[in-house]
Amino acid sequence: MPVGTQGTVKAVPQDTLESLGVEIILGNTYHLYLRPGHEAIRRMGGLHRFISWPRAILTDSGGFQVFSLNSLRKVTADGVQFRSHLDGSSHFFTPEHSIDVQIALGADIIMAFDECTEYPASRDRAEESLHLTMAWARRSLDHFRAHRHKVPWTDPKGCCIQCFGIVQGGMYRDLRRQCAERLVEMDFDGYAIGGLSVGEPRELTLEMISEVLPLLPKNKPRYVMGVGYPDEIEQYARLGVDMMDCVLPTRAARHALLFTSEGRLNIKNKQFAEDQSPPDPACQCPVCRRYSRAYLRHLMNAGEPLSATLNSIHNLAYYLAIMSRVRSSLESEPATPASDR
């Protein structure tokens, strides 16, 4: 899932995303709540209509962003007090409020409000944080069930909107297990594994995913949040992960980093000054079919806005092609669900 923090996948028009085959994008509740505001978006018929994106949208709970504010926030059992990074204004998010905001945005998939445990965290800290996350998961789900019909589009029973729970537990396998089991009892529509890719070594990320995945129902979406590099997403998808989101393809693109079948290219490098080959000779994306490395280098060096657009289109296409290949190979292989591995 490409990330569209503020209701736009940075620098890429919606019709381009469609032609790349993007089926779902992520919106950030924290950002959209602050600007333009969830009530404004509700009045305009929801996020899909506001940004003109008829395909699926998932919104996060705002939790991760709020916890990233560090000095600007204060956590209590009831919720989180935080200050806006835009104007310093004070706000209070509870699980109920996060769900209300997400229902107002009207995404197809909304996320339970959780606390993302920092890395490293002591066992005591991870356990305490986990209890908060599990209590908030319960409250999120109850509130979702009572208010899901309040989406801004015509869906009288609220049957189209789904709510996912988020497995936390720091880097402690038993805490992760405990959380997964409790969430599965609650019967969410899908399950995410959060609190990963927060600075831990990659073996640990893999260990946590491998621990949790078999505990999650195979007939519901399993989503690892905030990953990752191209080889990572392929690895996790082959383990049985159904969904991932990451700013990496678009953020890296804006910083001159292209992912290609020949490895990572820093397109600013002088070696590309007169390189007329496509960014990735093995790629069929519209950028690789039309433009050269030399031109992309020139755009980047000249500070041209087209640079971010073309680099992002290529990186997104590269990520989507990986997932497409994985899907094809899983379809042609005998089924070996993650829980059997």
Q: For binding to a second copy (CB under 8 A), which residues are involved?
A: 6-8, 10-15, 31, 35-36, 40, 43-45, 50-52, 273-274, 276, 286, 290-292, 294-295, 298-299, 301-302, 304-306, 308-310
Identified catalytic residue from 60, 100, 114, 189: 60
Q: How far is the CB of 7 from a second copy (least distance, A)?
A: 6
Beta bridge partners of 90: 83
Question: Residue with structure tokens 């986990």?
Answer: 130
Identified catalytic residue from 87, 108, 124, 245: 245
Distance of CA 338 to the CA centre of its chain: 21
245 is catalytic: yes
Per the document, the length of the chain is 341
Q: Which is nearer to a second copy, 151 or 196 (CB)?
A: 151
**Which pairs from 89-98 meet CB under 8 Å and 24+ separation?**
91/33, 91/34, 93/62, 93/63, 93/66, 94/139, 95/136, 95/137, 95/139, 95/140, 95/143, 96/139, 96/140, 96/143, 98/29, 98/61, 98/62, 98/63, 98/140
Neighbours of 247 (CB within 10 A): 17
Burial class (CB in 10 A: 0-12, 13-18, 19+), 86: exposed
100 is catalytic: no
Q: How far is the CB of 151 from a second copy (least distance, A)?
A: 18
Q: Which is nearer to a second copy, 4 or 195 (CB)?
A: 4
Closest C-alpha to 161, from 218, 94, 217, 100: 100
What residues are annotated to the active site? 60, 245
